[in-house]
Copies of this chain bind each other. A is one copy, B any other.
Amino acid sequence: MSRTYWGGAVVAAMAVIAPSIAFAAVDAETAFVFNTFSFLIHGVLVMFMAAGFAMLEAGLVRTKNTAAICLKNVAIYSVAGIIFYIFGYSLMYTDVSGYIGSLSLFYDTSDAEKALLAASEKTPELIKSVTDNGYSVMSDWFFQMVFVATAASIVSGTVAERIKFWPFMVFVVVLTGVIYPIQGSWTWGGGWLKEMGFSDFAGSTLVHSVGGWAALVGAIILGPRKGKFGPNGQVLPIPGANLPLATLGTFILWFGWFGFNGGSQLALGSAADAAAIAIVYVNTNLAAAAGVVAAMAASQLLYGKIDLTMALNGAIAGLVSITAGPDLQSHYLSVVIGAIGGVLVVFAIPMVDKLKIDDVVGAISAHLVCGIWGTLAVGIFGSGSLVTQIVGIVATGVFVSLVSAVVWLALKYTMGLRVDPEDEFRGLDQAELGMEAYPEFGPRAQVM
């Protein structure tokens, strides 16, 4: 069963059982309301992650690029939502042949729902025709839409402070309209990876690694910011301008992640679903907390200091790591999985630096490395097969990297990807937007 239809199946099962027993179970219409509401309210929490990414990235760039990164985050969420409405959702979830869905435009409410809403008398037949689906059509769309926006938000942080606005937005269109839905159809759309048994509950691979691969390829093709690497190859720190904002962004992401993972149960209309969601919430929180503690301990041991940004990345690392399998019933494993994620990010960030890849916010380490780790962990600790998990990771990585590379390169040799050095020095805010994020705070330290 695919990500989309799981809830419906459960509800159908309930409907069969319900009449035959003395014990009063959730009726089909009540289950429909629960399932729909779960998509909506969890979806709203995920939507707010757009604010989390915006604040995290606004806190970690320099002041001269802050308005530009805010603009990108607002634009990403907007464009992703429209593209996913026009054709993205359809490519991912409608009539998936195995490798891709169908291209039908303008996803829409079902006729059954329209008939029910239009009817002055809500007859049992009309209600049943709607509740047979298990949840409302557009609530599912809404929940899936906020996921694609997340994948795109990951990219903006990595390539910040030097990429041109419009080429970046073109990439976002391709990522959210083509790359994300196609690979998504393989698993959540019910395609070949799902058939093979690949397991990714809420998207360690499907969302976070996808964003991470696209970001990695983008960072390589784009090249590092001026001043990030010294003439002798040394790594020069470029500190973020507003760490309370980065902290806020991380907390918002954590907050939204309960929607991300909890809503991915895809149903709330039975005791089993409710209990499962509770387990997901707890594991999500334990993994994030363990990620923070592990990242703090690791940076204290390695560097003798605790870097705030390492602790924040530890939280995100823990969250990404548990996202493939937050339904584990052994909670201590969540602590283990999250803690390993927290350690991984502390090692990955300097390693990415050593490879001369300039990732402004650490998204490659937090989302790609830990996304891979989380997906493997399901094979190690969970019900999945490790081999299948590796197949899924590799297939997704190859596909996303290749297509991303083609798109990034095409943009590079047509519109151009990178602002010119003077504009980079002045900052994107003045160069591209003609404004300043903090016009009264100054004089600024001259950070190259």
Residues of A within 8 A of B (CB): 13-14, 17-19, 21-30, 32-34, 36-37, 39-41, 43-45, 47-48, 50-51, 54-55, 58-59, 62-63, 66-68, 70-71, 73-75, 77-79, 81-82, 85, 106-109, 113-114, 116-117, 121-124, 127-128, 130-131, 136-139, 141-142, 145, 165, 239-245, 247-248, 250-252, 254-255, 258, 262, 268-279, 281-282, 285-286, 288-290, 292-293, 296, 305-309, 311-312, 315, 329, 331-332, 335, 432-445, 447
Contact = CB atoms under 8 A, between A and B. Distances in A.
A79 B127 contact: no
A411 to B, nearest CB: 18
Contact of A251 (B43, B50, B245, B307): B50
24 contacts: A29-B271, A34-B37, A37-B274, A37-B277, A55-B248, A62-B440, A70-B244, A70-B247, A70-B308, A71-B308, A74-B247, A74-B250, A74-B251, A81-B286, A82-B289, A85-B286, A117-B329, A127-B272, A136-B274, A137-B275, A138-B281, A142-B285, A240-B439, A439-B445
Given A29-B25, A442-B445, A275 B306 contact: no
Given A165-B306, A239-B439, A24 B23 contact: no
A248 to B, nearest CB: 6
A293 B79 contact: yes
B441 A279 contact: no
A66 B34 CA distance: 42
A115 B370 CA distance: 31
Q: Is the interface of A mostly helix, strand, loop or mixed?
A: helix
A166 to B, nearest CB: 8
Given A33-B274, A47-B258, 14 more contacts: A22-B124, A25-B27, A25-B29, A25-B127, A33-B273, A47-B255, A50-B251, A79-B293, A82-B289, A138-B275, A142-B282, A241-B438, A243-B435, A440-B445
Give the top 9 A-B pairs by smallest Cβ distance, nearest first: A24-B27, A51-B251, A78-B289, A139-B278, A78-B292, A70-B247, A23-B124, A136-B275, A36-B274
Contacts of A241: 438-441
A59 to B, nearest CB: 8
A335 B36 contact: no
Contact of A33 (B34, B293, B432, B434): B34
A102 B63 CA distance: 52
A145 B285 CA distance: 10
A255 B44 contact: yes
A29 B270 contact: yes
A258 B48 CA distance: 11
